[in-house]
Chain A
């Protein structure tokens, strides 16, 4: 959560919500939160667990970039 907040502070395009999972069981259930922390990106992709800044960044950028054709 700390990293997500730092990212939000850094970029005007990023909104970061910390959500207490047990108080919002329906939402947590919809995103299949069985372990925390779990980060949901644009309600579409997920990051499980904590990770160092550079990996978190990579995951976020991956989610933010439209899917591209894999070169063959």
Chain B
């Protein structure tokens, strides 16, 4: 049985039609001792099937150490959302409910390569001189 409901498939397809460039979901997981590992992977696999422009790469958190280091992933399940470039966008856990919608928005934004932020915000962000790590805690609703 699919995790994405049949009734939602058409709407998701329609939203993903707004994509411009291909987006790659780089997923890290492990087979054992991961409560929602299997569901998360399945959800991403189903999502990737809904658009030609979405692809999925899956790595083993314990074995693929080079990729784990490249994406600076310290816990799983983890998913990076990128196009030709890795912007530093990650989701840790199962993106369910409202977070699934946020994931779709992230895919669209990355695909367009446009943050959609106000011009003043963009201007001020150019003044950053040090790396910033934002960790946003959410719960499924």
Chain A: interface size category: 35 or more
Inter-chain contacts of A67 with B (CB < 8 A): none
Contacting residues of chain A (12-56) with chain B, CB-CB under 8 angstroms: 12-24, 27-28, 31, 33, 36-43, 53-54
Contact between A9 and B102, CB atoms less than 8 A apart: no
Contact flag A36-B131 (CB < 8 Å), given A1-B99, A23-B94: no
**Chain A's nearest CB lies how many Å from the CB of B23?**
12
Q: How many of chain B's residues have a CB under 8 angstroms from any CB in A?
A: 48
Contact flag A6-B115 (CB < 8 Å), given A1-B99, A39-B136, A60-B134: yes
B11 interface residue per 8 A CB criterion: no
CA distance A59 to B72 in the complex (A): 25
* Minimum CB distance partner of A63 in chain B: B132
Show the binding face of A for B, using Cβ within 8 Å. 1-2, 4-24, 27-28, 31, 33, 36-43, 53-54, 57, 60-61, 63-64
Q: Which 8 A-B pairs have the closest CB atoms?
A: A20-B93, A15-B88, A10-B115, A23-B93, A9-B115, A40-B135, A6-B115, A21-B137
Other 10 A-B pairs with CB < 8 A, given A17-B133, A64-B132: A2-B102, A6-B116, A9-B110, A10-B117, A10-B122, A16-B89, A19-B137, A20-B138, A43-B135, A54-B118
